Homo-oligomer: A and B are copies of this chain.
Amino acid sequence: MSVSGSEIISADLSGLRAQFPILSQKVHGKPLVFLDSAASAQKPDVVIDGMARMMRSQYANIHRGLHWMSERSTEAYEAARTRIAEFLGAEFREEIVFTHNSTEAINLVAYSYGSLINPGQAVLISEMEHHANLVPWQMLRDRAGIELRVAPITDSGDLDLDAYGELLADGKVALVAITHMSNVLGTITPAHRLIEMAHAVGAKILLDGSQAVVHRRVNVRELDADFYTFTGHKLYGPTGIGILWARRELLDAMPPFMGGGDMISSVTFEKSTWAPIPAKFEAGTPAIVEAVGLGIAIDWVEAIGFDAIAAHEAALTKHALNVLSEVPGLSVVGQPRHRGGVISFTMDDVHPHDIATLLDRNGIAVRAGHHCAEPLMRRLGLTATARASFAVYTTEHEIDVLASTLRRIRQFFV
């Protein structure tokens, strides 16, 4: 590339924003500044229109229909699966399981793969997990007598690799489940290293990619991961759809999670046998239109390109760290080595909820609270933070508006 990513994006950006009609709304009479994309991203026109078009012209239930509409629906659904397999660099399209969201994908692994883990073995998570990658393992621990270990983080917000190594050392860890990017600190974890270290002691590893896939190209084969999960609505796609990727031989060996239509090979009252993957894990009518919507979102993301996306977000994040550090009383939470476009902060003793509400009255949407990561908050000695997060449609100007409004809020309170 002869031009830098940020140039490309500045050139493209107005075009991009025009594809998100919601971004030109006003909130409390002010232009919307949407800095809550890590909670859920807005959806480009092409995704919304694609879903509507399917429902208007080529919709029926899939798989078992022998008629034209059903075949067209099935094709669109299965093409989305192929698209997502390519997106993640999966070896086989059958390794892609459609779920409700990332949370369900992780629960599927905890119930199904979890049933193959023996009491006396352990699952290893980290101190910075989202509840989605924590509570399912607690529930497994309490259900099956499996030990739950927690790898600590350093004060800067990175995973403590030495401690991680020690927790793996006794060879009892059957499965590591760690975030690929923290939704609070923005930390991008050293996935290659974590995977190598897990595999060296014979442990499998799941990466929660809910945040990571939005910001960086992920290739599960290159990473050599065992399980990878993400969620559609954060990747500019619809709600109600998530992805579990796992190695074929793992999925083959795992018992089904839910029972119902389409996941069986044959059923008698005495005994049922299971369909081959991925059907084995997709009981009942899937989120057909949403899967197709996610496929469109991924096409859209890839058309922009992760080089441009990463460059844009890196530039925004750098700018944000700069201007926010100049706001009196503001502290950014965490200084991880590698970070994505998510910044948590506190401001003197103005409560994060007051910050969020006051920003909202100025049209600025940020999130405040424990961000579904209570144990991490406790580790940081906080009960809550405010969090600004960036997407491809975020502009430098929006970050400047955030910073100047934060200054005014502080004056108002102090």
Contact = CB atoms under 8 A, between A and B. Distances in A.
Interface string A345-373: 00000000100110110001111110110
Contact of A368 (B22, B61, B66): B66
A36 B60 contact: yes
B48 A60 contact: no
Interface stretch (A88-96, A103-111, A211-219, A331-339): A103-111
Interface stretch (A26-34, A158-166, A192-200, A300-308): A26-34
A287 B360 CA distance: 25
Contacts of A367: 64-67
Contact of A261 (B27, B68, B372): B372
Interface stretch (A10-18, A266-274, A311-319, A398-406): A266-274
A268 to B, nearest CB: 6
Contact of A103 (B59, B104, B285): B285
Nearest to A115: B143
A70 interface: yes
A276 interface: no
A78 interface: no
A209 interface: no
A102 interface: yes
Given A103-B283, A240-B240, A260-B132, A55 B61 contact: no
A289 B22 CA distance: 15
A34 B104 CA distance: 33
Given A284-B100, A359-B67, A375-B268, A239 B60 contact: no
Interface stretch (A133-141, A174-182, A243-251, A321-329): A133-141
Interface stretch (A1-9, A39-47, A79-87, A220-228): A39-47
Tallying the copies of this chain within the complex gives: 2
A238 B241 CA distance: 13
A61 B104 contact: no
B34 A69 contact: yes
A263 interface: yes
A276 B344 CA distance: 28
Classify the secondary structure of A's interface with B. mixed
A385 interface: no
B260 A107 contact: yes
Contacts of A32: 69
A132 B259 CA distance: 6
Contacts of A102: 284
Contacts of A34: 60, 69
A306 to B, nearest CB: 23
Contacts of A136: 258-260
Interface in A164-193: none
B22 A39 contact: no
A267 B135 contact: yes
A55 B22 contact: yes
Contacts of A240: 100, 238-241, 286-290
Contacts of A119: none
A368 B66 CA distance: 7
Contact of A284 (B65, B104, B258): B104
Contacts of A409: none
29 contacts: A22-B55, A22-B56, A25-B69, A27-B67, A39-B60, A51-B51, A60-B365, A61-B233, A69-B365, A100-B100, A101-B286, A103-B260, A103-B283, A103-B285, A104-B283, A106-B260, A107-B257, A111-B111, A134-B259, A135-B260, A136-B258, A138-B271, A148-B269, A231-B284, A239-B285, A267-B375, A268-B374, A268-B378, A269-B375
Given A22-B55, A135-B267, A264-B374, 19 more contacts: A22-B58, A25-B57, A34-B60, A40-B60, A48-B55, A64-B372, A65-B367, A66-B356, A103-B259, A103-B261, A106-B260, A107-B257, A107-B259, A107-B283, A131-B264, A134-B259, A135-B283, A138-B259, A138-B272
